[in-house]
Amino acid sequence: MQLVSVLATTAPVLAEQAAPVPTPAPTPQGRGRGRGEQIPQRVTKDQMIAALAILGLTYTEAELEMAQPVVNRALVTYEQLRKIDVPLDTAPSISFSAILPGFQLPKGTGAYRPPKAPALVRFKQPEELAFLNAVELGAMVKARRITSESLTKMYLERLKTYAPRLNCVITLTEDLALEQAKAADAAIRRGRRTSPLHGVPFGAKDLFDTKGILTTWGAEPYKQRVPDSDATVIEKLRASGAVLVAKLSMGALAQGGQWFGGMTKTPWNYDMTSSGSSAGSGSATSAGLVGFSIGTETLGSIVSPSTRCGVAGVRPTFGRVSRHGAMALSWTMDKIGPICRSVADCAEVLRAIAGPDGKDLTVVNAPLAWDARKPLKSLKVGYLAAEFERANEKNKPVLDAALEALRKAGVKLEAIQLPEFPLNAIRFVLDAEAAAAFDDLTRTPGGLDQLSGQTPGDWPNQFRSSRLIPAVEYIRAQRARTIYMEKFQQLMGQWDAFVSPTGSQSLTATNLTGHPQVVVPCGFVDGLPQGLLFTGRLYEEGTPMRLALAYEQATDWHKQHPVLQTS
């Protein structure tokens, strides 16, 4: 008998209050609900006392006597529940929304004004184009300066040459890529360019389902998993004309940079991880192995690898992009977004993948506005002054220079601070939901033992430990989360956006509130890229992207690329 079986008994008790039943006599065996059958008292009072200690509660002997039969009846229902086949892609019947009462969604169709068209590049060999931005690559294909097939072959060769050392690819999709590239070229010849990403090769984090192609989630138990349909994001990018060249590595079950093939490395230092969990997406994009990539974030998995690899990333508003066909880790926190070599690329990719699909019902049909030429003086921008001041002696000069570059670009910055709130007291909602997502793996004998990560901070220990999270505390945390969302919304009502270091507390805050963030490289410390973070209002990604673009235009950090190694 597992102690955890009695930890979530309050919910059944409350359900009974709505439809009362006679309380059975507190005999050692107990009784069924009016049917006279005996219910073994497998959960003892000593076990209940131990479980109540986790809950911070103490019951009298009489209260224990009264509750024990109810707890044991609930145990029978839990066992019945565990026998129900619940596929991994089944979302709970309750859902999270970043929208609070009174919030007004942006109106209109969403004005879309990108930067001026990029200049076409002269080249002798396709590999000279490896580090071009995606929109530049798309312009080259449109102008027929190069074919999508030639670009695709170039990136496939680079992936074969450099990805093994970086450990950033799980599956090359070579046959599919060449087929899609030829189709993209044929469409160009017919004058049917579908988007600025048409013909541009990209990589996808290996948690997006791809029909007939391995989608492993980076984890040993799923190494042979082959889905029979595509994720919505994959479908939308195919419709945009983009070419899938690789399924990129990810930390096992979306944690860190360690997957069943080892640790993914940043191309700036092959002795260090690229961070995660969108590890391969950050690494491959930085190394010029793909035109752009797609990642996911629950608590930093776009921002962190983008920072470590020196590229741009956008974690959109919760409910902006459909997660259908993507591995679920936390139904109330998972977000999908682009990782690219420029902010303008991120805007184009987000435009391609955003919007409802009728399958992920958390997605809101809100306009996506992007005005790359909007006057900066019209924006009210804050910065988390205390976080910049607290930076260590190595980071502070880099961050101070970043703020100065923004000011010189015309951004007026005013000091602000985040609302006071014990965020660490509610972030365990991620642990609870992740444990629920992989409950069947946890219950399978030896299931978690298959995972290579077995330290206290890895999923096996976290999944087991999270089985002891009380249901009532989880609901209370979600209610407290609403309180913080209200506080944060009040803050964002005063500012169009704010700036912070990537190690900011705002990373945790906005992953809980659902607000968007944009990260761009802002310098180096000890040879590793550093990042600057821009936070915007709900469903207004265009504003932090505009500020990030202004920073890019004022600096050259995004133009620096790593020297790659093959051995």
SS3 category, 4 = helix
If asked whether residues 414 and 522 sit together in one domain, one would say yes
Q: Is residue 351 part of a domain?
A: yes
Cis peptide preceding 322, ω within 30 of 0: no
At 499-516, the pLDDT tens digits run 999 999 999 999 999 999
Average pLDDT over residues 245-273: 98
Q: Considering only CA atoms, which of 524, 308, 500 is closest in space to residue 388?
A: 500
Please report how the helices 10-18 and 61-82 are oriented relative to each other, as an axis angle in degrees rounded to 10: 90
Tell me: pLDDT of 120 over 50: yes
CA 444 to chain centre: 26
- Give residue 36's pLDDT: 47
The token duo for 420 is 């006071």
Considering 65, 82, 99, which residue would you say is the last residue of a domain? 82
Contacts of 368 (CB under 8 A, 6+ apart): 110, 112, 320, 350, 351, 354, 355, 539, 541, 542
Q: How far from each other are the two terminal CA atoms of the chain, in whole angstroms?
A: 52
If asked whether residues 145 and 245 sit together in one domain, one would say yes
If asked whether residues 346 and 268 sit together in one domain, one would say yes
Percent of the residues in the chain that have a pLDDT greater than 70, as a whole number: 93
Average pLDDT over residues 212-230: 98
If asked whether residues 347 and 200 sit together in one domain, one would say yes
The token duo for 356 is 């409802």
Give me the chain's average pLDDT, please.
Answer: 93
How crowded is residue 383: how many other Cβ atoms within 10 Å of its Cβ?
23
Cis peptide preceding 293, ω within 30 of 0: no
Domain that holds residue 341: 112-363+374-422+477-559
Q: Considering only CA atoms, which of 106, 115, 162, 160 is closest in space to residue 135?
A: 115
How crowded is residue 11: how many other Cβ atoms within 10 Å of its Cβ?
13
Q: Is residue 378 part of a domain?
A: yes
Q: How far apart are CA 354 and CA 480, in angstroms?
A: 29
If asked whether residues 25 and 124 sit together in one domain, one would say no
Q: Is residue 548 part of a domain?
A: yes
At 402-412, the pLDDT tens digits run 999 999 999 99
At 453-489, the pLDDT tens digits run 999 999 999 999 999 999 999 999 999 999 999 999 9
Q: How far apart are CA 251 and CA 292, in angstroms?
A: 19
- Give residue 37's pLDDT: 61
Q: Is residue 458 part of a domain?
A: no
Q: How far apart are CA 499 and CA 543, in angstroms?
A: 12
CA 317 to chain centre: 11
pLDDT-derived band at 363 (thresholds 50, 70, 90) equals very high
Catalytic center residues: 205, 277, 301
If asked whether residues 301 and 194 sit together in one domain, one would say yes
Q: Is residue 15 part of a domain?
A: yes
Q: Is residue 455 part of a domain?
A: no
- Give residue 24's pLDDT: 42
If asked whether residues 78 and 116 sit together in one domain, one would say no
- Give residue 38's pLDDT: 75
If asked whether residues 177 and 50 sit together in one domain, one would say no
Q: Is residue 93 part of a domain?
A: no
Tell me: pLDDT of 12 over 80: no
- Give residue 503's pLDDT: 93
If asked whether residues 48 and 131 sit together in one domain, one would say no
Looking at the 3D structure of the chain, how many domains does it have? 2
If asked whether residues 309 and 197 sit together in one domain, one would say yes
- Give residue 16's pLDDT: 32
Please give the backbone phi and psi of residue 550, each rounded to the nearest 5 degrees, phi first: -60, -40
- Give residue 107's pLDDT: 84
Q: Considering only CA atoms, which of 166, 140, 170 is closest in space to residue 154?
A: 140
If asked whether residues 178 and 306 sit together in one domain, one would say yes
Q: What CATH number is attached to the domain comprising 382?
A: 3.90.1300.10
pLDDT-derived band at 27 (thresholds 50, 70, 90) equals very low
- Give residue 110's pLDDT: 81
Percent of the residues in the chain that have a pLDDT greater than 90, as a whole number: 90
Least confident of 71-80, 189-198, 260-269, 540-549: 71-80
If asked whether residues 158 and 16 sit together in one domain, one would say no
Least confident of 25-34, 240-249, 403-412, 445-454: 25-34
Q: Is residue 210 part of a domain?
A: yes
Q: How far apart are CA 177 and CA 41, in angstroms?
A: 60
- Cα dihedral 428, 431, 433, 439 sign: negative
Tell me: pLDDT of 153 over 70: yes
